[in-house]
Chain A
Amino acid sequence: MIGLGLPRGFLVTLKNFVRAPVTVQYPDRHVGLFGAAKEAGMNPFRFVVKRPVDSIKAIAGLATVPVALEQSPRFRGNEFTFYEDRCTACASCAKYCPLGIIEIVSVPGKIDAQEGESYKLEVFDIDIGRCMFCGLCVEACPYDALHMGTKFERSTYVRDELIVTLDELNAAEKKPSSFYRPQFEENAFDPYTETVDDHYDAGRHERPSDEDLKKKWVDER
């Protein structure tokens, strides 16, 4: 009916006005006194007594707590997780990358945990400044040595720092994504709270049998 459309529209706006916000404050969220006390793990009274300066800040609305974004474990992120012990320097990943940004130099003479005698890596550089996180390199790796990471904050002032070297890869925190690695999903591994430092714990990627798939399907629905 003519004339009713506008009020109905405003009613929708009003409904949304009182709705809980969907916006996520990132990377920090402003909290009041109670939030700050909760973050410090104390009850508010204790917090006021123990940390008066912080309490005043919190009351003035200046206290912040860091916020973790909700991500799926399959998130194809930055910070590749790499297990050198498993890598045979086969260079499948380098060949499969659409941009050709993985550089591998290898020499013979390594005894591999899985494959016996194999090649040893001298250089394993990923230029993640150009990487588009498509995950094809991870999909290509036959030995489950390379995994996608789950983080995404890696800004630098210099482009060259975006080339991740072998040492950096080895030293990085190992929070592999379950992208193309169903073994993590089966173990309900959560990269946002756990790490896998030893490659023995990472498991190998084997295709589940059709029976297993059927069972999983029935359980889920």
Chain B
Amino acid sequence: MAIKTQPVTVNLGPQHPSTHGVFRLRVMFDGEEIVDVEPVFGYLHRGSEKLAEERTYTQIVTLTDRMDYVSPMLNNQAYMLAVEKLAGIEPTQRGVWLRMIAAELQRIASHLVATGFLLQDLGALGTPLIYAMRERENILDLFEMLCGARITNSYLRPGGVFMDAPTGFWLALDRELVDIVNTLDELEEYLSGNEIVFSRTKGTAVLAPELLINASITGPMLRASGVDWDLRHRNPYDYYDRIEFKRILHTASDNYARYWVRVQEARESVNIIRQCVAQIEPGPVRPSFDDVPRLIRPPKGDAYVAIEGSKGELGFYLVSDGGIAPYRMHVRAPSLINLTLLRDMLIGGLFGDLFVSFGSVDLNMGEVDR
């Protein structure tokens, strides 16, 4: 005899511990099954794009830190590339290498957070998350050495970075790279073969590659479905064309594939940093103030630059009217766009998988709402 059930609507969030930020989900359940999902967001809207219109180009760096607060260095990088394109600034060699190192470290940190929270969502409360966070902490310590802050870095300036790496940074970096590999080994040791993780993540929330492409999903989510799309390789910015790295692909396009791609990408980032360190040369880290003054006035026009952020294609669009502040700034936030497939992911799934699938998007509300 089948038990008769009635659909129930449940509100999850905005202050729910698993919602990865201030996010609200209105879910309709029929028994264990999800019938309908309605995401409600905007709770963290701070109007960064509007605020940018009354700040000079250098001051806006501080705003970009606060968009995706799990990967501020990558935001800095994307924004600075857009400013450089808009104003025609030639960055200094050492500055570019330094910001690439910082960006790749940030990618590792961001992927560690994503992996740690995936396990948290699976119900492994605390412990595995702390293993991942412990390593991220060390990366943030490196950032503190570089720029004096851990999250609100503001390390980049038009044409490079504000200061060279301090004495002792390179040694600490070498040590940290070894540690990162060890931590990733450890993470994989207890995850990649773990039957519970397998049964919970394999085959859940499968998304077809065509659907992902049509919804313009990017980043690890897309690569987990076998589509080879990485802007570092497709459209190299900075010096990524001087670097050899493997493109990480998986074909299953389920929650496990997305986790796997992130861990392997973090490994590849270690590889990239090693190559950067091998190629970096002494020299100035930013152009002199005669070439690039503090107050930049780019010519009239617009520029769009996209980089491979930790969550997908992170783009900055700037319009200049010739003044000291942009006329308009727009951010293509990968978290927001990756979130658009939430209904396709969740509907038809089980309640227990809801937050696992949701977490596997790796979204950041600071970036979604801006």
Does B62 lie within 8 Å of A74, measured CB to CB?
no
B271 contacts chain A at the CB level, 8 A cutoff:
no
Q: Mark B200-238, 1 if CB is under 8 A from A, else 0.
A: 000000000000000000000000000000000000000
Interface size class of B (residues with CB under 8 A): 35 or more
Q: Mark B149-173, 1 if CB is under 8 A from A, else 0.
A: 1001010000000111011001000
In Å, the complex CA distance between A73 and B165 comes to 12
Does B162 lie within 8 Å of A214, measured CB to CB?
no
Chain A residue at minimum C-beta to C-beta distance from B167: A220
B147 contacts chain A at the CB level, 8 A cutoff:
yes
Chain A residue at minimum C-beta to C-beta distance from B59: A98
Does A136 lie within 8 Å of B58, measured CB to CB?
yes
B148 contacts chain A at the CB level, 8 A cutoff:
yes
List the B side residues contacting A135 at CB < 8 Å: 148, 154
In Å, the complex CA distance between A214 and B198 comes to 52
List the A side residues contacting B62 at CB < 8 Å: 98, 132, 134, 136
Identify the stretch in A29-37, A80-88, A157-165, A179-187 within 8 Å (CB) of chain B at 4 or more residues: A179-187
Interface centre among A3, A4, A8, A177 (most CB of B within 10 A): A8
Count residues of chain A with CB under 8 A from any CB of chain B: 45
B178 contacts chain A at the CB level, 8 A cutoff:
no
Given known pairs A6-B195, A13-B190, A139-B162, the reply for A76 and B149 (CB within 8 Å) is yes
Shortest Cβ gap from A57 to chain B (Å): 32
In Å, the complex CA distance between A210 and B149 comes to 27
B26 contacts chain A at the CB level, 8 A cutoff:
no
Shortest Cβ gap from A140 to chain B (Å): 7
List the B side residues contacting A72 at CB < 8 Å: 141, 144-145, 148, 166
List the B side residues contacting A27 at CB < 8 Å: none
Shortest Cβ gap from A104 to chain B (Å): 18
Partner of A134 from the list B152, B167, B191 (CB cut-off 8 Å) is B152
In Å, the complex CA distance between A213 and B163 comes to 12
Given known pairs A75-B144, A177-B148, A210-B283, the reply for A22 and B190 (CB within 8 Å) is no
Does A182 lie within 8 Å of B149, measured CB to CB?
no
Q: Mark B267-284, 1 if CB is under 8 A from A, else 0.
A: 000000000000000111
- Report A's interface with B, CB cutoff 8 A: 1-6, 8-13, 16, 22, 71-76, 96, 98, 132-136, 139-140, 148, 177-180, 182, 185, 188, 207, 210, 213-214, 216-217, 220-221
Q: Other than A74-B146, A75-B149, give 12 A-B pairs with Cβ distance below 8 A.
A: A5-B194, A5-B196, A6-B195, A9-B190, A12-B189, A22-B137, A72-B141, A134-B152, A135-B154, A136-B58, A185-B166, A188-B167
Those 6 A-B pairs whose CB atoms lie nearest each other, nearest first? A9-B190, A5-B193, A76-B148, A98-B59, A217-B282, A74-B148
Residue contacts A-B, CB under 8 angstroms, 15 given: A5-B194, A6-B195, A8-B190, A9-B193, A10-B190, A11-B189, A12-B189, A12-B190, A72-B141, A72-B144, A72-B145, A179-B147, A180-B163, A207-B284, A210-B282
